[in-house]
Amino acid sequence: MIKKEVQAMQQDVDKSDTFTADIFAEDADVSEYDALVLPGGTVNADTIRGNEKAHQIINAIHEAGKPLAVICHAPWVLINTGIAKGKTLTAYPTLQLDLENAGANYVDKTVQVDGNLITSRNPDDIPNFVDAIDKALS
């Protein structure tokens, strides 16, 4: 088995610890997952929104009606996958115009649920974000 090292970041741009991933996107089988959580951070979200395999997984989770939880800058990915259009979402405030230009309705709330989509603004909102994910999985 090939070790899959990933680089963690702190404050978006400073390298932190490295970790060994259990699986990478290209090896994931969506049928084995009940939900997907996309982490925030500008660099992380920007990397994910440029990854076509990640888009395939995100769209498959969404189309299956499974909870798709995105926080902070991760709603950028919803724009690139086409999921944002027509949805009511929250995100880090600087994404408001991006989401609106993509056809989403932006709201400034700690957590917003629209169907199977769960969005949140920032790390301060994590308790409400986690509660919404728990509720969706119950």
The boundaries of the domain holding residue 120 are: 34-137
Q: Is 65 a domain residue?
A: yes
Q: Is 15 a domain residue?
A: no
Domain with residue 114: its CATH number is 3.40.50.880
Q: Give the closest residue to 125 by CA, choosing from 85, 74, 83.
A: 74
Catalytic residues: 73
Tell me the per-residue pLDDT of 34-92, one tens digit each, with 9 for 90 and over: 999 998 888 888 888 898 999 999 999 999 999 999 999 999 999 999 999 999 999 99
Number of domains in the chain: 1
Contact 4, 18 (CB under 8 A): no
Q: Is 16 a domain residue?
A: no
What is d(CA 85, CA 137) in angstroms, rounded to the nearest whole number? 24
